[in-house]
C-alpha cells in the first residue's frame, strides 16, 4: 500500500475472525501488552559480476564466513569471505570474476573467487577482493548491491524497495529477507501504541534465505532448516521476564527467537551448549521450566560471563505438535503453501489455520511480503500467562 499502515488486518481471537485496518492495531491489542520487534536490517545482498567472456554471474551473499561477525565483515577493507548462493554457477568453473563499483564518484574494481563448495546445492564460500583501503565491504554492497526482494514477486528490485523492504525500526545489518510483519508499522502506529501504554522491546535475528526455501519433501522431517544468527540484550531479557501482561511477537522471526531462547535456558541448566539451537530441539527438550525460570538461567549466565548481549544461532523449526511457551499472540503476514512459515502458523493456532486462511482468500486479503497482515491469539489466550 502507498501508506504502510493502510494494509488490512485480520484478527483471530482464538475463536472468532474479524478484520480492520493496521492503523487501528492499538485498539486491537490487550492493555499492557509487550510487543517484541526484530530490528534486523536487510542488506543489498545481490551482486552482479561479469566473467571475462561477458557472461553475468549473480552472487547472493547469505552470511559472513571470515570474519564471521556481521559488523566486523561490513567494516572489512581489501577482502572479505562470505557464504553465498551463486546463480549460473555452472558457467563459473574457476578464476576471478569482476564488478566495477562507483563509490563517491570513484570507480573501484571488486573481484570474486570461489574458495570452497559447500554441501548445500549452489552454496559456496566466496572471497571478495578490492584494492582501495578507503572502501569497506558495506560501501560495496550499498553501492552495487540489489535488495533481495522475494523471488515470487517475479521482478527486479527497484529504488522504492530500498525503503519499503525495510522496517522503520531496522538497525543492525544482516538480513537477506525482511521481517515482513514489521513492514506495516509506521510512525503513526507506533505513536498510537505508545499512547495506549503498549510497551515494546527489540531483539535481532538476521533472516536467512531459508525463509524463501519451500518444503519439497513429503515429510517435514526430511526438510533441512538454515541456521540464523540472533542476539538479545540483558536489559531486554529482564524486561520480558518482568512483564506482567501479554507478550506479542511481531513476526515469525521474533517468535522463533523467543522460543529458541527458552531452549537456551534449558541448555544452560543442563550444562550444554546454549549458543546453538538445532532444528528439532523444540521436541527434544521437554521441560517443566517456566518461561521466567528459563530466562533467569540466561540472565545469570550473562552476568557470570560479563555479557551485555546474548548471541546464538538457531535452526529451530516450529511445526504442529510444537508447544509455544513464551508468547501469547503473533502479528504476521499471510504465507505461501508448502512453507515452514505456514507450518508455524498451524502450530500456533491449530487446525483453525485453514479457516483463517479461507477467510483471507474470501475477503480479498493480499498475501506475502508486501501483502496484508493478521493478529493471531493462541488458544486459551486470556487464560495463558507467561509465568
Residues 6 or more apart whose Cβ sits within 8 Å of residue 28: 9, 11, 20, 375
| 226 compared with 256, residue with greater pLDDT | 256
Q: Please write the tens of the pLDDT for every residue from 108-150.
A: 999 999 999 887 666 899 999 998 878 999 999 999 999 999 8
What pLDDT is recorded for position 232?
Answer: 98
User: Helix, strand, coil proportions of the chain in percent (round to 5)?
Assistant: 30, 30, 40
Whose grid coordinates read 541448555? 267
Residues 6 or more apart whose Cβ sits within 8 Å of residue 178: 42, 165, 166, 167, 207, 369
Q: Report residue 287's pLDDT band, with 50, 70 and 90 as the boundaries.
A: confident
Residue 83 within a domain: yes
Residue 157 within a domain: no
Rounded Cα distance between 141 and 43, Å, is: 8
pTM for the model stands at: 0.93
Residues 261 and 113 in one domain: no
Find the mean pLDDT for residues 285-305. Answer: 95
Q: Report residue 386's pLDDT band, with 50, 70 and 90 as the boundaries.
A: very low
Whose grid coordinates read 574494481? 109
Residue 159 within a domain: no
Residues 312 and 206 in one domain: yes
| 213 compared with 241, residue with greater pLDDT | 241
Residue 155 within a domain: no
Q: Is the peptide bond before 272 cis (omega within 30 degrees of 0)?
A: no
Q: Can you give the residue range of the structural domain that contains 270?
A: 4-41+164-377
Residues 51 and 199 in one domain: no
Rounded Cα distance between 298 and 260, Å, is: 12
Residues 104 and 140 in one domain: yes
Residues 121 and 169 in one domain: no
The tally of domains found in the chain comes to 2
Residues 128 and 256 in one domain: no
End-to-end distance of the chain based on CA atoms, in angstroms? 38
Whole-number percent of the chain with pLDDT over 70: 97
- Domain CATH number, residue 214: 3.40.1780.10
Rounded Cα distance between 83 and 62, Å, is: 6
Amino acid at each position: 500500500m502507498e501508506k504502510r499502515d493502510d494494509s488490512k488486518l485480520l484478527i483471530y481471537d482464538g475463536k472468532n475472525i474479524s478484520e480492520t485496518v493496521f492503523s487501528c492495531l492499538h485498539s486491537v491489542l490487550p492493555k499492557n501488552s509487550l510487543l517484541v520487534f526484530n530490528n534486523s536490517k536487510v542488506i543489498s545482498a545481490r551482486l552482479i559480476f561479469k566473467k571475462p567472456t561477458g557472461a553475468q554471474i549473480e552472487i547472493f551473499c547469505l552470511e559472513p564466513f571470515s570474519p564471521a561477525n556481521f559488523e566486523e565483515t561490513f567494516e572489512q577493507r581489501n577482502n572479505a569471505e562470505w557464504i553465498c548462493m551463486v546463480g549460473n554457477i555452472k558457467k563459473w568453473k574457476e578464476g576471478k570474476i569482476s564488478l566495477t563499483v562507483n563509490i563517491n564518484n570513484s570507480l573501484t574494481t571488486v573481484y570474486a573467487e570461489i574458495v570452497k563448495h559447500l554441501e548445500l546445492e549452489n552454496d559456496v564460500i566466496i572471497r571478495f577482493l578490492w584494492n582501495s583501503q578507503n572502501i569497506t565491504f558495506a560501501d560495496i554492497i550499498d553501492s552495487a548491491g540489489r535488495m533481495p526482494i522475494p523471488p515470487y514477486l517475479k521482478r527486479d528490485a527497484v529504488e522504492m524497495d530500498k525503503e519499503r523492504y525495510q522496517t522503520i525500526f531496522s538497525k543492525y545489518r544482516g538480513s537477506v529477507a525482511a521481517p515482513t510483519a514489521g513492514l506495516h508499522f509506521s510512525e503513526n502506529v507506533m505513536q498510537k501504541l505508545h499512547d495506549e501504554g503498549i510497551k515494546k522491546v527489540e531483539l535481532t535475528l538476521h533472516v536467512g534465505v531459508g525463509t524463501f526455501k519451500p518444503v519439497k519433501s513429503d515429510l517435514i522431517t526430511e526438510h533441512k532448516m538454515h541456521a540464523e544468527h540472533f542476539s538479545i540484550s540483558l536489559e531486554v531479557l529482564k524486561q520480558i521476564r518482568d512483564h506482567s501482561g501479554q507478550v506479542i511477537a511481531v513476526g515469525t522471526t521474533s517468535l522463533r527467537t523467543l522460543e529458541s531462547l527458552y531452549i537456551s535456558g534449558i541448555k544452560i541448566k543442563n550444562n550444554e551448549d546454549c549458543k546453538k539451537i538445532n532444528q528439532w530441539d523444540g521436541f527434544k527438550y521437554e521441560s517443566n521450566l517456566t518461561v521466567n525460570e528459563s530466562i533467569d538461567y540466561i540472565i545469570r549466565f550473562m552476568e557470570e560471563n560479563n555479557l551485555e548481549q546474548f548471541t546464538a544461532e538457531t535452526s529451530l523449526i516450529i511445526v504442529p505438535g510444537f508447544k509455544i511457551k513464551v508468547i501469547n499472540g503473533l502479528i504476521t503476514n499471510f504465507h505461501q503453501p508448502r512453507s515452514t512459515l505456514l507450518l508455524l502458523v498451524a502450530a500456533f493456532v491449530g487446525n483453525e489455520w485453514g479457516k483463517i486462511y479461507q477467510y483471507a482468500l474470501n475477503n480479498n486479503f493480499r498475501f506475502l511480503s508486501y501483502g496484508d497482515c493478521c493478529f493471531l491469539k493462541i488458544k486459551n489466550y486470556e487464560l495463558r500467562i507467561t509465568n
